[in-house]
Amino acid sequence: MTVCEQIGEWLADLTPDSIPKRTLRRARLQTAAVLAAGRAGEAAAAPFVSVAPDGPAGEVYAGAAASVAHDWDDYLFMGHTGHSSVWTSRAFADDPERALLAQVAGNEVAGRFGAAVFLGPHNGQFWASIHCAGAAASAGVALGLDPEQLAHALAIALYQPPFGLWPGFMGPQTKLLTAAEPASQGARAALLAAEGVRGALDLVESRRGFLRAFSFVPRPQMLGALGDVWLTDTLAFKPLPGCAYLQAAADATLRAGVEPEEVATIDVDAGWLTVAMEHLRPPDGLTPAGINFSAARTVAVCLLAGRLTHEELDPGWLADNASAVEGLAARVHVRHDPGLTLETLRGPLDAGASTADVSPIGWLRVLRGARRSGINGGLDATELVAMLRNRDFRRALSRGARMGGDGLSGLDTAAMRMSFPCRLRIALRSGRTIQIEGDQPGSCGRSLEEQGAVVEEKCRMVGLEPAQAAAAAS
Is residue 374 predicted with pLDDT exceeding 90?
no
Across the range 215-223, mean pLDDT stands at 93
CA distances from 322 to 169, 328, 333, 346 (A): 21, 10, 19, 38
d(CA 309, CA 263): 22
Answer for the pair 11, 105: CB distance below 8 angstroms, yes or no. yes
DSSP 331: T
Question: Which residue would you say has higher pLDDT here, 134 or 366?
Answer: 134
Name the average pLDDT for the chain. Answer: 92
Give the residue from 265, 209, 431, 437 showing the smallest Cα distance to 340: 437
Confidence (pLDDT) at 378: 56
- Report pLDDT for 381: 58
CA distance 455 to 240: 10
pLDDT tens for 431-453 read 999 999 999 999 999 999 999 99
pLDDT digits (tens, 9 = 90+) for 387-436: 667 777 667 666 666 665 578 988 999 999 999 999 999 999 999 999 99
Are the CB atoms for 85 and 49 separated by under 8 Å? no
Separation of alpha carbons 136 and 141, rounded Å: 8
DSSP 124: G
**Is the CB of residue 379 less than 8 Å from the CB of residue 272?**
yes
Distances 86 to 5, 56, 297 between C-alpha atoms, Å: 24, 13, 30
> What global pTM score does this model have?
0.93
